[in-house]
Amino acid sequence: MAKVLVTGGCGYIGSHCVVDLIHAGHEVTSVDNYMNSSPNVLESIQKITGVLVKNHAVDLCNLPAMDKVFSEVRPNAIIHFAALKSVPESVSKPLLYYRNNLVGVINLLEMQKKFQVKDLIFSSSCSVYGNPSVLPVTEDTPMGIAESPYAHTKQVSEEIMRNFSASHPDFRFIFLRYFNPAGAHDSILMGESPTNEALNLVPVITETAMGKRSQMWIFGDDYDTRDGTCVRDFIHVMDLAAAHTLSLNRMTSTDTTGLEIFNLGTGRGITVKEAIQSFERISNVTLNYKVGPRREGDVISIYSDYTQAAKLLGWKPQRGIDEIMDTAWKWEQVRSKSLSDS
């Protein structure tokens, strides 16, 4: 059993990972300042696992506050999710993204060094590859030109940790490069619940179907893809969560050292139009959408090769786009009812 500090543990991916970690027998403490999350998720985690997880409502950019957290918790592993993650928002507010995401990483490494926490798993992104010329991408695919400040913060964060790892060879790092997380927990007790405006495709789809939006936009249908819309690799959030637990198990049960990188995706590219068609088929709801101009910061097409994760972590995705849409739609209905009742 590991004593794990999860930064961003009340966020979308972090909360699902907390559930998977608890089910695997690990002790979890969260750090989340609720910038784009809610303390209500702690109740959902307790309902699913029977465990009330303690959260420290602390900003990672506040180094003295983080020092107090580490002094109290004394973790032996860290999983780092806490970062701003909207591509369009990063384009309009680049300094906010650079300050929050990079200072947070630096402070976390300072704490890792001071308290000798040997193992850190970093929530990275396929956006580090830019617009790749060869698909699917592998872990050896070179980093491309970042298409957004958000993507650049992931590239720089990886480089900061890579340099730290080189100078501290007794510390272990795993970078998990996500593709497009979506869907909800099978219990439908929690899912994606952004407190700010939803900008990811799947919650935009479900909010449109629920009537929270009068219509949704497809940003460009003139790309060089099979139907003109962008191609993404959608990965179910619980498949993603399982990879973190397997990564932690690898760190704590093997003699691995240094730094490892794993892509986490299904290996299948889905266009925006195909994602919409999947939702309409699953829900029997016809979406009101229009096609608009391309959106700055969007990568044209990307999907993964997850061979490395399958080989070394024993991981493979269990769910596809239809399961993603099914759980996301069920969650949207539960969430909307809860909001209307409150």
Query: What is the set of active-site residues?
Result: 150
CA distance 110 to 162: 14
CA distance 100 to 120: 19
Rounding to the nearest 10 degrees, give the CA dihedral for residues 38, 53, 124, 107. 90
Residues with Cβ within 8 Å of residue 140, at least 6 apart in sequence: none
Taking each helix axis as running N to C, give the angle between helix 201-210 and helix 272-283, from 0 to 180 degrees, rounded to the nearest 10. Answer: 40
Structural contact between residues 130 and 143, judged by C-beta atoms closer than 8 angstroms: yes
* Amino acid found at 35: M
Q: Which two tokens stand for residue 129?
A: 């590859």
Answer whether the bond into residue 136 is a cis peptide, omega within 30°.
Answer: yes
- What is the Rg, in whole angstroms, of the alpha carbon atoms belonging to the chain? 19
